[in-house]
Amino acid sequence: MIALLGQTVRDEIVHADGSEEVRCGGAPVFAARALGAAGIPGIVVTRGADDLHGDVAAAGLPVLAGPPGATFVSRLALRPDGHRDHEIAALGTPFAPADLTGWAASALEGASTVVIGTQWRDDVGPDTLRALRRAGRRIVFDAQGLARPGLGPVVPAGPLDPAWLDGVDVVKFSDAEAEALLGGLDATALGRAGVPIVVVTHGERGADVWQAGDAEPVRVPARRIPRLADTVGAGDMFTALFAAALDAGEAPVPAAERASAGVAEILALRA
């Protein structure tokens, strides 16, 4: 089973047509929608935005929410070309090692793979990662939060401290995050993550998959969807589907192909 660990986020959004919306965001809700659409069992382990947990549950997976705490608030302005202006307005309560042996223990007990979606650098720290790793689960880490030091405009910042990924089996970066954190996109740069499998997403240009020891990453193409402006959550969906394919025994490149196809099916409904 797949466990999806991450903050429930309050997304304050201005759409490309000028309309405004407040909705439930964060890695768990988008990842849960992807797994639910694919019929893959999983569970969401989350905290923050207590009033939005019903929206997370609507994705079709069971939800275990932690004690009340601070809520992460994200402000986004979506452009017609699919890009966005993004600001972090408030930080949520981080996940701590005690959470894993306390309120979250029952949800994590049956999970063979844990997908971690971070929102900022201190969201899931090294001590929490080590606590997860001690149980012998595969850890798939979406590293977007590592490139976000804190409040303000979201501009990827590095460099990476290898301790931030201690014990991780798979890490996913966007291309901008990899440039900032690793200093490049080639095999030498990707090796700086210190993780056996590294995935770098390039939006509609696909994703690169690199395994430790490879001379260069392998490009997995993506299906282009015309007139698509809202790509929010695509990376979270990709990471969850990639993790599920690995959990089912797929090799990394076929797993990325399956994940890419699954994300395209979901995004096509937004176009």
Kindly report the CA angle at 127 between 129 and 72, in degrees rounded to 5? 75
Tell me the percentage of the chain whose pLDDT exceeds 90. Answer: 72
The answer to whether residue 21 sits within a structural domain is: no
| Total structural domains within the chain | 1
Tens of pLDDT, residues 193-218:
999 999 999 988 899 999 999 999 99
The answer to whether residue 89 sits within a structural domain is: no
The answer to whether residue 17 sits within a structural domain is: no
The answer to whether residue 135 sits within a structural domain is: yes
Owning domain of residue 108: 2-8+26-69+95-268
What's the pLDDT score for residue 78? 81
Tens of pLDDT, residues 35-92:
998 999 999 999 999 888 888 898 889 999 999 899 999 998 888 876 778 899 999 9
Q: What's the CA gap between 48 and 209, in Å, rounded?
A: 32
Q: What is the rounded radius of gyration, in angstroms, for the C-alpha atoms of the chain?
A: 17
- Indicate the range of 19-23, 55-59, 166-170, 227-231 predicted with least confidence: 227-231
Question: What H or E segment, with its residue span, contains residue 56?
Answer: helix 53-57
Q: What's the CA gap between 243 and 139, in Å, rounded?
A: 9
What's the pLDDT score for residue 229? 47
pTM of the shown model: 0.91
The answer to whether residue 82 sits within a structural domain is: no
The answer to whether residue 90 sits within a structural domain is: no
3-state helix, strand, coil in the chain (%, to 5): 35, 25, 40
Residue with tokens 């689960």: 137
In this prediction, residue 167 has a pLDDT band, given cuts at 50, 70 and 90, of very high
Q: Give the CATH number of the domain where residue 108 resides.
A: 3.40.1190.20
The answer to whether residue 200 sits within a structural domain is: yes
Question: What H or E segment, with its residue span, contains residue 158?
Answer: none
The answer to whether residue 146 sits within a structural domain is: yes
Question: What H or E segment, with its residue span, contains residue 236?
Answer: helix 234-247
